[in-house]
Amino acid sequence: MTEWMSIVVVVNPGDVDLVSGLVWDLGVSGIEEQPLPDGAVELRIGCERTIAQQALEVLAERWAPTAEPVAADEGLDAWRDHAQVWRIGSIVIVPPWLETPTGVAESDLVLVIDPGHAFGSASHETTRMCLEAVVELVTPGCAVADIGCGSGVLAIAAARRGATTVVATDIAADAIVATLDNALTNNVADLVEVSTATIDELEPTRFDVVFANIGAATLSSMAAALVQVTKPEGVLVLSGLLGEQVETVIESFEQTGALRTEVRADGEWRTVLMKRSR
């Protein structure tokens, strides 16, 4: 059974996105924000015990985090009480315990997504920016990779939009379970290939579009491998970045020969689009 920890840290409101970005990079499963009477914000960060020590070391450099064990999965599903339906262009993301809203058009793509304890409910800005890219870039017959797939929402959206090759990978067991379940719910289980394969195990130059919403440090370390699996002239959608991390990540990819095409922003978060050269 997975051992869960809850890390508690009190920060200034202006540091919430910074702290969130740092710990998402490490692979935490959820973050709950609670405003305090003095204007500060208490963050409760849910993660596996193996990740907790890393998170504590990173946060202790600037803040005063504490950690406590969580009995079984206690509290990890509290966010469900605040879940909502999200619209991103023509894509509508509906949690399975909520009703599909009225006014959804026949041309809209409705996805029923339960992230479980994985990342990817469309509540986060980076997921929504990646879904916007799915709408713009994924065309019938193309090949798509979703690296660090979380709930599988990007892979599933790509499959529903007509991609005929879709590979979703993640190292987290919760993500694999969530992606398999969501692919089945959305009738693309026979199309989305879900695995724990590392980026180095994927076939080179296979994908027209590669999504990687996995944070700055991981993106930089995997730059060469991510470019390698992308077809010449293919597009990489890189997300999970704060504004101050963008140039470092872009430089890592430019060193492999990839070309910057666009940087998109939603609040403090950024998504970078790059293209593999011929």
- H or E stretch covering 11: strand 4-11
| pLDDT for 121 | 65
| pLDDT for 98 | 82
Any residues with CB less than 8 A from the CB of 183 and at least 6 apart, and which?
152, 155, 156, 159, 168, 189, 191, 192, 194
Distance CA 98, CA 220 (A): 38
Supply the CATH classification number for the domain 4-75: 3.30.70.120
Per-residue pLDDT of the chain (278 residues; tens, 9 = 90+): 567 788 999 999 888 888 888 888 787 877 888 888 998 999 988 888 888 888 999 999 899 999 988 765 555 555 555 578 888 989 999 988 888 888 888 899 999 988 775 566 677 888 999 999 999 999 999 999 999 998 899 999 999 999 999 999 998 888 899 899 999 999 999 999 999 999 999 999 999 999 999 888 889 999 999 999 999 999 999 998 888 899 999 999 999 999 999 999 998 889 999 999 98
Confirm whether 4-75 and 118-275 share one CATH topology: no
- H or E stretch covering 23: helix 16-26
| pLDDT for 166 | 98
Domain ranges of the chain: 4-75, 118-275
Architecture in CATH for domain 118-275:
3-Layer(aba) Sandwich (3.40)
